[in-house]
A and B are shown apart, each in its own frame.
Chain A
């Protein structure tokens, strides 16, 4: 199995801050990395796929980068609606996709 880790596990930030979340894979997954936002009681939403491609309708303040084993999700100018938990997911091994443990972003 490909193990995914994320750091930090949680962070506190203010509206307007630039926030960066890191995701690491236990082996190279090339660019087969997707990012999701999840709010309590809601369906998760796809933010970025293929490491850096913004899903249609997602605000441009979200960006992703990386390849191989190390990836980042950046939110440039955090908005009130961005307080949520963020997950990365590898799709390199399609027989067994795996998610990271999540990073919770809350209000400072």
Chain B
């Protein structure tokens, strides 16, 4: 059973960089057939796809975040990372990591429980 667990600071100051880690267990991020993704949910709102990364290093980013966003892999620790620069209050959200199976219609089939990140001074 694949499990994902987000971790990182719960509070980030405006203009700083938001950094989160997603630790994966029960499978290897270097396995083929998957993308590793970040999704967020603003308070009281729906789900917003942030981006994903393939084990080859190929990334796809939400165009609205692309200029501030980096998603990377750490295969030695079996985890992937999110960095979002120059944050504002609009980046306050619950951040989820998830696995995408591209053989399964590019559906997000495993998710972490999410971590709340607040942007405030």
Contact = CB atoms under 8 A, between A and B. Distances in A.
A62 interface: no
Given A95-B60, A96-B63, A46 B107 contact: yes
A100 B46 contact: yes
B106 A94 contact: yes
B20 to A, nearest CB: 15
Contacts of B48: 99
Contacts of B60: 94-96
B47 A32 contact: no
Counting contact residues on chain B (CB < 8 A from A), the size range is 20 to 34
A3 B47 CA distance: 13
A97 B49 CA distance: 7
Interface string A75-108: 0000000000001010100111111111000000
B112 interface: yes
A46 B46 contact: no
A87 B111 contact: no
Contacts, number: 64
Contacts of B62: 96
Contacts of B98: 44
A90 B102 CA distance: 13
A26 to B, nearest CB: 16
Interface of B: 46-49, 60, 62-63, 96, 98, 102, 104-109, 111-114
Given A43-B96, A43-B112, A91-B107, 19 more contacts: A1-B63, A31-B105, A34-B107, A42-B113, A43-B113, A49-B105, A50-B104, A87-B46, A87-B47, A89-B47, A89-B107, A94-B60, A96-B62, A96-B63, A98-B49, A99-B46, A99-B47, A99-B48, A99-B49
Instruction: Please provide the 9 A-B residue pairs with the shortest distance between their CB atoms, ordered closest to farther.
Output: A91-B106, A43-B111, A49-B107, A34-B107, A50-B105, A99-B47, A49-B105, A101-B46, A102-B46
7 contacts: A38-B47, A45-B111, A46-B107, A53-B105, A55-B109, A89-B107, A98-B49
